[in-house]
Amino acid sequence: MEIKNEAILVMDFGGQYTQLIARRVRECNVYCEIKPYKITAEEIKAKNYRGVIFTGGPNSAYDANGPKCDPKIFEIGIPVLGICYGAQLMAETLGGKVTGVNDNKEYGKTDVEFDTSSLMFHSAQEKNICWMSHTDRIEEIPHGFKITAMSKDCPVAAMEDIKRNFFGVQFHLEVQHTVEGMLYLKNFLYNACGCTADWQMDSFVTDTIKYLREKIGDKKVLCALSGGVDSSVAALLVHKAVGKQLTCIFVDHGLLRKDEGDQVESIFRQQFDMNLIRVNAKDRFLAKLAGVTEPEKKRKIIGEEFIRVFEEESGKLGKIEYLCQGTIYPDVVESGVGESAVIKSHHNVGGLPEDVGFEGIIEPLRDLFKDEVRKAGLELGIPEFLVWRQPFPGPGLAIRIMGDITEDKLDILKDADAIMREEFANNGLDRQVNQYFAVMTGIKSVGVMGDGRTYDNTIALRAVTTSDFMTADWARVPYDVLEKISNRIINEVKNVNRVVYDITSKPPATIEWE
Ligand code: XMP
C-alpha cells in the first residue's frame, strides 16, 4: 500500500534495539521501514528514502566477517545516522579507526558532554545522561568529521560531518535512559533529513479507508474476528471502507475470558452495525480437547478445529473474494542478519492458511507497530478497554488450565481471572502491567475452612512487565492488592482454597504456564 510520502530506512545489523529505533522514528511522526543490512545503494535510491539509520549490532566493525554496508550508500547524497555498531561501521568504512576497549568498557547510564553547536545536539543540554553499551570504540574519526560529544571513557561519543550529513552516536539514543534521545533523533529527522512529520494516524485511517474502498470495489471480504485489538482494527477499517460487503466470523471456542464473547458481539454488532456471525462452538472444542493434557497438542487441536469451523461457516456464504487479516509490522519485518523472516513464536488461532480459495489477502495493518494500531483503533472509535486489552493467546484459557480441560475448571478459572482483572483495574495497574492472568494449576492442596479440612484447587496469579514479550519480569504488585485478590478468590470462587503468586521472570520461565 503506497500511501506514504517521506520514509526513513532503518538498516538492521542485528542489534537488539532495531524495532525500538523504528518505533521511535514513527513516534516522531516519520514513516520508516526496517530492512536487512544487505540492501544496496541502488535499492535505497530507487525507494527514495529521506535518510538512513544504521542500527547497533553484536559484531566488531573491524572484524572482516562482520556485517558490512554497501559503501556506495555514502555516495547517494542522503543523510546517514549510525548508532553504536552503526557509528563504528561508518567510521571504519570512511577511513577512521575502531578498536576494542579492554579496561574501560561502558555499560549503562553514562555522563556525556555535547557540542550544542552541532546539528544533532542543537538546543540540547551541554551535559546529560546517555545509555551506553559497547566494548569497542571509535579511536580516529574519518576525514571531514568532527567530534560532537564525549564521555569519560569514550572520546568519540558522537561525531558528524555536516557537509555530507553523516552522523554517528556511540550511545543508544532510542533507549529511554538517554534523557534527550528523542530530541537528538528529531534533529536528525527534521533538520538533517528534512522530514515534515507527515506520518499521522488520523491521515493513515482516512487514507487507508480510501485505498481499501478503491481496491475492494464491489467485491466481498471475510474476516476472522477474535476480539483482540489487531483483528478488530483491521476489520473496522474494512467495514468503514465497504460496510456490509464485509462479513466477520467470530468463532467463540468457549475458552475466552468471562463475558468476553458477549462483549465482542455487542461492540461489533450494536455499536458498529457490522455483519457479524458468532459461532458458539464451545461444546465442539471441549469434546475435541477431552482428556488432552499436553500443551502443544491442545494448541494443535484448537488451531485445527478453528480452521474447520471457520471453513464450514464461510462455506455457507457463497463466493467471497478477499480475506482480511490483522497482520502487523513486527510479524512481517525481516531480521537483519538471518536469511529468513522472523516467524511468530506461536501459531495464533485465527492464523488461516492462505490457500482457502480467496483471490487476495487484505492486511491493512501490515505497516503498523502495536502502539500505532492502538492509536488507529481509538481514531476509529473502538472503546478504550478493547484498544488497551492485554494480549490474550489464541488457544485461550486452554493453556492456562494445567492438565485436562473440563467445564468446571473453566468456570473456576474464569471467575478467578475476572476478580484479578477487576482488582488490577481498581488499583490502576491495568495499564502498568503488560500481561496478567490467573492460572488453574491442577494442584490440589489441604486447607482449613471454618472447622473443617478442605482439599481443593490452587490458583496461581501471573503478572509481568515487558516491552516485547520475549523477555519479561514478574510485576512487583503491591501486597495489599495481592491480598485483596487472594481473599476475594477464596471467598467468591468455589473449590479454591489456595492462591499463589508466580515470581519467575522470563527466561527461565515463559509468561504462560503452558
Ligand atoms: P510465552 O508464554 O511464550 O508467551 O512467554 C509470550 C506471549 O505470547 C502469548 N502466547 C500465545 N499467543 N498463541 C498466541 O496467539 C499461543 O499459542 C500463545 N502462547 C503464548 C502469551 O500470552 C504472551 O503474550
Per residue in 331-346, pLDDT (tens digit) is: 888 765 654 333 333 5
For residue 73 the three cell numbers come to 550508500
Could you tell me the residue ranges of all domains in the chain?
A: 8-192, 201-387, 406-501
CA neighbor of 56 nearest in space, from 80, 81, 36, 83: 83
For residue 402 the three cell numbers come to 494445567
Helix (H) or strand (E) holding 203: helix 201-216
Q: Give CA separation, 485 vs 52, 291, 303, 391, in Å.
A: 50, 30, 32, 21
Confidence of residue 137 (pLDDT cuts 50, 70, 90): very high
| Catalytic residue list | 84, 172, 174
* C-beta of residue 350 within 8 angstroms of C-beta of residue 343: no
The protein residue with its alpha carbon nearest to ligand 1, atom 4, reads 511
Q: What is the CATH number of domain 201-387?
A: 3.40.50.620
Cβ(512) to ligand 1 under 6 A? yes
Mutate to test the pocket of ligand 1, among 392, 401, 511 (most ligand atoms within 8 A of CB): 511
Tell how far the Cα of 346 is from the centroid of ligand 1, in angstroms. Answer: 6
Instruction: Report how far residue 392's alpha carbon sits from residue 437's, in angstroms, rounded to the nearest whole number.
Output: 9
Mean pLDDT of the residues in the chain: 93
- Residue scoring higher pLDDT (1 or 328): 328
Chain segment 190-240, per-residue pLDDT in tens: 999 999 999 999 999 999 999 999 999 999 999 999 989 999 999 999 999
Cβ(511) to ligand 1 under 6 A? yes
**pLDDT for the residue numbered 237:** 98
For residue 135 the three cell numbers come to 566494548
Tell me the CB-side half-sphere exposure of residue 410, using CA atoms within 13 A: 20
Tell me the CB-side half-sphere exposure of residue 29, using CA atoms within 13 A: 12
Cβ(469) to ligand 1 under 6 A? yes
Q: Is 150 exposed, middle or buried (0-12, 13-18, 19+ CB in 10 A)?
A: middle
Residue 181 has pLDDT above 60, yes or no: yes
Tell how far the Cα of 149 is from the centroid of ligand 1, in angstroms. Answer: 42
Residue 52 has pLDDT above 70, yes or no: yes
Assign 482 to helix, strand or coil.
Answer: helix
For residue 251 the three cell numbers come to 468463532
Cβ(351) to ligand 1 under 6 A? no
**pLDDT for the residue numbered 304:** 94
Query: Max Cα separation, the chain?
Result: 84
For 11-20, what is the mean pLDDT? Answer: 93
How much of the chain exceeds pLDDT 90, in percent? 87
Nearest atom in ligand 1 to 392's CA: 22
Cell numbers 513464536 label which residue? Answer: 345
**pLDDT for the residue numbered 107:** 87
Cell numbers 473453566 label which residue? Answer: 410
For 71-95, what is the mean pLDDT? Answer: 97
Nearest atom in ligand 1 to 390's CA: 24
Chain segment 498-512, per-residue pLDDT in tens: 999 999 999 999 999
The protein residue with its alpha carbon nearest to ligand 1, atom 7, reads 469
How much of the chain exceeds pLDDT 70, in percent? 95
Assign 97 to helix, strand or coil.
Answer: strand
Cβ(394) to ligand 1 under 6 A? yes
Confidence of residue 353 (pLDDT cuts 50, 70, 90): low
The protein residue with its alpha carbon nearest to ligand 1, atom 22, reads 393
Residue 348 has pLDDT above 60, yes or no: no
The protein residue with its alpha carbon nearest to ligand 1, atom 10, reads 393
CA neighbor of 395 nearest in space, from 350, 354, 452, 431: 350
For residue 48 the three cell numbers come to 527514495
Chain segment 435-486, per-residue pLDDT in tens: 999 999 999 999 998 889 999 999 999 999 998 888 899 999 999 999 999 9
CA neighbor of 511 nearest in space, from 435, 456, 449, 407: 435
- Residue scoring higher pLDDT (346 or 393): 393
Nearest atom in ligand 1 to 514's CA: 2
Chain segment 243-298, per-residue pLDDT in tens: 999 999 999 999 999 999 999 999 999 999 999 999 999 999 999 999 999 999 99
Tell how far the Cα of 95 is from the centroid of ligand 1, in angstroms. Answer: 46
Nearest atom in ligand 1 to 512's CA: 2
Q: Give CA separation, 435 vs 104, 359, 388, in Å.
A: 38, 37, 11
Tell how far the Cα of 131 is from the centroid of ligand 1, in angstroms. Answer: 30
Tell me the CB-side half-sphere exposure of residue 207, using CA atoms within 13 A: 13
CA neighbor of 106 nearest in space, from 130, 133, 124: 133
- Evaluate whether 201-387 and 406-501 have a shared fold: no
Topology given in CATH for the domain delimited by 406-501: GMP Synthetase; Chain A, domain 3 (3.30.300)
**pLDDT for the residue numbered 344:** 31
Tell how far the Cα of 295 is from the centroid of ligand 1, in angstroms. Answer: 12
3-state secondary structure 235-281: HHHHHHHHHHHEEEEEEECCCCCCCHHHHHHHHHHHHCCCEEEEEEC
Cβ(374) to ligand 1 under 6 A? no
pTM comes to 0.87
**pLDDT for the residue numbered 341:** 36
Tell how far the Cα of 196 is from the centroid of ligand 1, in angstroms. Answer: 38
The protein residue with its alpha carbon nearest to ligand 1, atom 14, reads 393
Cβ(346) to ligand 1 under 6 A? yes
Q: Give CA separation, 28 vs 183, 243, 382, 449, in Å.
A: 10, 33, 24, 57
**pLDDT for the residue numbered 356:** 63
For 359-378, what is the mean pLDDT? Answer: 94
Cβ(464) to ligand 1 under 6 A? no
**pLDDT for the residue numbered 451:** 87
Q: Give CA separation, 295 vs 36, 253, 298, 395, in Å.
A: 35, 17, 5, 10
**pLDDT for the residue numbered 331:** 87
Tell how far the Cα of 347 is from the centroid of ligand 1, in angstroms. Answer: 9
Tell how far the Cα of 513 is from the centroid of ligand 1, in angstroms. Answer: 10
293-308 b/e (C-beta count within 10 Å ≥ 16 → b) = eeeeebbebbbebbbe
Helices 229-242/201-216 angle, 10° precision: 60
The protein residue with its alpha carbon nearest to ligand 1, atom 12, reads 393
Residue 120 has pLDDT above 70, yes or no: yes
457-478 b/e (C-beta count within 10 Å ≥ 16 → b) = bbbbbbbbebeeeeebebbebe
Topology given in CATH for the domain delimited by 8-192: Rossmann fold (3.40.50)
